[in-house]
Homo-oligomer: A and B are copies of this chain.
Amino acid sequence: MQRPIKLREPIPASGKGKRASNVYREAAEIMCHKGYEATSMNDIAEAAGLTKAGIYHYIRGKEDLLFEIMMYAMDNVDNGIIAPAREIPDAEQRLRTIIERHTMNLIEGVGAVTVVLEEMASLTPAHRKTITARKRTYFEFIRETLNHLKSEGKLRDLDSNVAAFGLLGMMVWISRWYRRDGRVPPEQVMREYVEMGMNAVLK
């Protein structure tokens, strides 16, 4: 069995460094609660402990910030989910790792992921294209894993597109309902999602 992933594992920062990633994280939490439209640059500066001039050291403006938050969230998908899962030759174990890591990524960093899911319409067309392509890469990685399982005769009688979307839906929805102060501990949520996800698609 794959070693269980550690809780509170540090999320790798994007290229712009730790301070910038803190700004994205704070901004994501606010946007997640207030919505992108209602969030001002002042709100973000205040939450990040920066002056209004200071915040412009990190970003050019609100839309740019939204894009950076999404790039940061997608970096976490690349580094925290896809890269480690790609190292695993066994498709069943790879799928298990994807579900474990995606679930944990959502539980640990709800804000940024929620913004990626909810605020796509607020991006400029060029930025939207970039984020959509990165999401697509992740989707295709999951679908390939399912096709691999199909070739081994382990997949239920499912279209691999439909199955990949089913799994993704089950997982991404965590950002809508999970509360860090809730009754069910993170490890249990992860374990139960693995149980549900694996049995949903595997014979």
Contacts and interface: CB of A to CB of B under 8 A. Distances in A.
A200 to B, nearest CB: 4
A104 interface: no
Contact of A169 (B157, B170, B201): B170
A172 B173 contact: yes
Interface in A148-203: 156-159, 161-163, 165-174, 176-177, 183-184, 188-189, 192-193, 195-197, 199-201
A161 B184 contact: yes
Contacts of A161: 183-184
A175 to B, nearest CB: 9
A107 to B, nearest CB: 12
A37 to B, nearest CB: 7
A192 B121 contact: no
A118 interface: yes
Nearest to A177: B165
Contacts of A176: 169
A35 interface: yes
The CB with the most chain B CB atoms within 10 A, among A176, A183, A195, A197, is that of A195
Contact of A173 (B156, B159, B169, B197): B169
Interface of A: 35, 37, 118, 121, 156-159, 161-163, 165-174, 176-177, 183-184, 188-189, 192-193, 195-197, 199-201
12 contacts: A35-B121, A118-B118, A158-B196, A159-B192, A162-B189, A163-B196, A166-B170, A169-B170, A169-B172, A169-B176, A199-B199, A199-B200
